[in-house]
Chains A and B, each alone.
Chain A
Amino acid sequence: MTGRGPGGPVITGPVPGGPVLEVRDLHVQIASRRGLVKAVDGVSLEVPRGEAVGLVGESGSGKSMTLRAILGVLPPEAKVTSGQVLLDGTDLVPLPVSALNRIRGPKLAMIFQEPMSALNPVMRVGLQIAEGPQVHMGYSRSKAAERAVDLMRRVGIPDPERRFRAYPHEFSGGMRQRVMIAIALSCEPEVILCDEPTTALDVTIQDQILRLLARLCRESGVSLLFVTHDLPVVAQLCQSVAVMYGGEIVERGAVEDVFVEPRHPYTLGLLRSAPDVAEIRSSLVPIPGSPPSLISPPPGCRFHPRCGFAEPDCQQQRPPLRLLPGGRATACLHYERCQESLEAEGAAR
Chain B
Amino acid sequence: MTGPEPAASPAASGPGAADPAGEAGPLLTATGLSVGFRVGSPAMARRRNEEWILRAVDGVDMTIERGEALALVGESGSGKSTLARALTGLVPLNAGEIRLSGRVLSGRRSRADQRRIQMVFQDPYSSLNPRLTVSSILHELLRVHDIVPRAEVESYSRELLGLVGLTDDALHAYPRQFSGGQRQRVAIARALALRPDLLVADEPVSALDVSVQATILNLLQELRGSLGLTLLLISHNLAVVRHLCDRVAVMYLGRIIEVATTEQLFTAPAHPYTRGLLAAIPRMTASTADEAPAVVGDPPSPLRIPAGCRFRTRCPIAQDICSREDPMLTAAPGQPGHTAACHFAFGEAPPAAAAASSAGLKEEPSPSQS
Q: Which residues of A contact B (CB under 8 A)?
A: 58-59, 153-156, 158, 172, 174-175, 202-212, 214-215, 229-233, 235-237, 259, 269-271, 273-278, 280-281, 283-287, 290-291
Some 27 contacts from A to B, beta carbons below 8 A apart, are A58-B211, A153-B370, A156-B365, A174-B298, A202-B236, A203-B280, A205-B298, A206-B280, A208-B367, A209-B367, A215-B367, A231-B210, A231-B284, A235-B282, A235-B283, A235-B287, A236-B283, A236-B287, A237-B287, A274-B213, A277-B281, A277-B283, A281-B243, A284-B217, A284-B218, A285-B214, A286-B214
Which residues of A have CB within 8 Å of B239? 274-277
Which of B242, B287, B289 has a CB less than 8 Å from the CB of A280?
A: B242
Question: Bound complex: CA of A110 vs CA of B322, how far in Å?
Answer: 42
Question: Bound complex: CA of A197 vs CA of B111, how far in Å?
Answer: 44
The 0/1 profile, CB within 8 Å of A marked 1, for residues 270-301 of chain B is: 00000011111111110111111111101100
The secondary-structure label for the interface of chain B is loop
CB–CB B214/A284 < 8 A: yes
CB–CB B210/A277 < 8 A: no
Question: Bound complex: CA of A194 vs CA of B211, how far in Å?
Answer: 23
CB–CB A207/B280 < 8 A: yes
Asked if B106 is at the interface (CB within 8 A of a chain A CB), the reply is no
CB–CB A210/B282 < 8 A: yes
The 0/1 profile, CB within 8 Å of A marked 1, for residues 174-213 of chain B is: 0000010000000000000000000000000000011111
CB–CB B284/A259 < 8 A: yes
CB–CB A210/B215 < 8 A: no
Which residues of A have CB within 8 Å of B290? 214
Contact residues, B305-353 vs A (CB, 8 A): none
Asked if B364 is at the interface (CB within 8 A of a chain A CB), the reply is yes
CB–CB B293/A211 < 8 A: yes
Which residues of A have CB within 8 Å of B242? 275, 277, 280
Asked if B126 is at the interface (CB within 8 A of a chain A CB), the reply is no
Of all chain A residues, which has the CB nearest B212?
Answer: A286
Which of B240, B280, B291, B292 has a CB less than 8 Å from the CB of A204?
A: B280
Question: Bound complex: CA of A284 vs CA of B209, how far in Å?
Answer: 14
Which residues of B have CB within 8 Å of A235? 282-285, 287
Asked if B266 is at the interface (CB within 8 A of a chain A CB), the reply is yes
Of all chain A residues, which has the CB nearest B238?
Answer: A277
Which residues of B have CB within 8 Å of A230? 282
CB–CB A154/B370 < 8 A: yes
Which residues of A have CB within 8 Å of B279? 207
CB–CB A172/B217 < 8 A: no
CB–CB A208/B366 < 8 A: yes
Question: Bound complex: CA of A229 vs CA of B240, how far in Å?
Answer: 16
Which of B240, B282, B288, B364 has a CB less than 8 Å from the CB of A206?
A: B282
- Known contacts A207-B282, A229-B209, A230-B282; 8 additional CB pairs below 8 A are A203-B75, A204-B277, A209-B367, A210-B282, A214-B289, A235-B287, A271-B284, A274-B213
Nearest CB of chain A from residue B80's CB, rounded to whole Å: 12
Which residues of B have CB within 8 Å of A270? 210-211
Nearest CB of chain B from residue A89's CB, rounded to whole Å: 30
Question: Bound complex: CA of A339 vs CA of B212, how far in Å?
Answer: 24
Nearest CB of chain A from residue B5's CB, rounded to whole Å: 36
Question: Bound complex: CA of A266 vs CA of B290, how far in Å?
Answer: 31
Nearest CB of chain A from residue B229's CB, rounded to whole Å: 17
Which of B218, B240, B266, B289 has a CB less than 8 Å from the CB of A211?
A: B289
CB–CB B289/A237 < 8 A: yes
CB–CB B210/A229 < 8 A: yes
Asked if B63 is at the interface (CB within 8 A of a chain A CB), the reply is no
CB–CB A273/B295 < 8 A: no
A203-B236 contact in complex given A58-B209, A286-B218, A287-B211, C-beta closer than 8 Å: yes
Which of A206, A209, A232 has a CB less than 8 Å from the CB of B283?
A: A232
Question: Bound complex: CA of A290 vs CA of B26, how far in Å?
Answer: 41
CB–CB A274/B210 < 8 A: yes
Asked if B9 is at the interface (CB within 8 A of a chain A CB), the reply is no
Question: Bound complex: CA of A155 vs CA of B292, how far in Å?
Answer: 14
Question: Bound complex: CA of A305 vs CA of B96, how far in Å?
Answer: 54
Which residues of A have CB within 8 Å of B215? 286
Which residues of B have CB within 8 Å of A274? 210, 213-214, 239
Nearest CB of chain A from residue B31's CB, rounded to whole Å: 29
Of all chain B residues, which has the CB nearest A233?
Answer: B282
Of all chain B residues, which has the CB nearest A212?
Answer: B367
In the complex, the 10 A-B pairs of residues with the closest C-beta atoms, listed nearest first: A207-B280, A232-B282, A214-B289, A286-B214, A284-B214, A212-B367, A202-B75, A287-B211, A275-B243, A273-B214
CB–CB A59/B243 < 8 A: no
Question: Bound complex: CA of A204 vs CA of B367, how far in Å?
Answer: 13
Question: Bound complex: CA of A206 vs CA of B294, how far in Å?
Answer: 10
CB–CB B75/A276 < 8 A: no
Question: Bound complex: CA of A236 vs CA of B213, how far in Å?
Answer: 22
Asked if B76 is at the interface (CB within 8 A of a chain A CB), the reply is yes
Question: Bound complex: CA of A209 vs CA of B367, how far in Å?
Answer: 8
Question: Bound complex: CA of A278 vs CA of B295, how far in Å?
Answer: 19
Which residues of B have CB within 8 Å of A290? 179
Which residues of B have CB within 8 Å of A215? 289, 367-368
CB–CB B221/A283 < 8 A: yes
Of all chain B residues, which has the CB nearest A289?
Answer: B211
Question: Bound complex: CA of A229 vs CA of B288, how far in Å?
Answer: 20
Question: Bound complex: CA of A210 vs CA of B290, how far in Å?
Answer: 11
CB–CB B211/A269 < 8 A: yes
A273-B213 contact in complex given A202-B236, A236-B288, A283-B221, C-beta closer than 8 Å: yes
Question: Bound complex: CA of A211 vs CA of B288, how far in Å?
Answer: 9
Which residues of A have CB within 8 Å of B276? 204
Question: Bound complex: CA of A235 vs CA of B282, how far in Å?
Answer: 8
CB–CB A156/B370 < 8 A: yes
Which residues of B have CB within 8 Å of A214? 287, 289-290
Question: Bound complex: CA of A207 vs CA of B213, how far in Å?
Answer: 23
Question: Bound complex: CA of A287 vs CA of B290, how far in Å?
Answer: 34
Nearest CB of chain A from residue B164's CB, rounded to whole Å: 14
Question: Bound complex: CA of A229 vs CA of B213, how far in Å?
Answer: 13
Which residues of A have CB within 8 Å of B295? 204, 207-208
Which of B209, B282, B367 has a CB less than 8 Å from the CB of A236?
A: B282
Which residues of A have CB within 8 Å of B278? 277
CB–CB A175/B293 < 8 A: no
Which residues of B have CB within 8 Å of A155? 367
Which residues of B have CB within 8 Å of A285? 214
Which of A202, A269, A275 has a CB less than 8 Å from the CB of B240?
A: A275
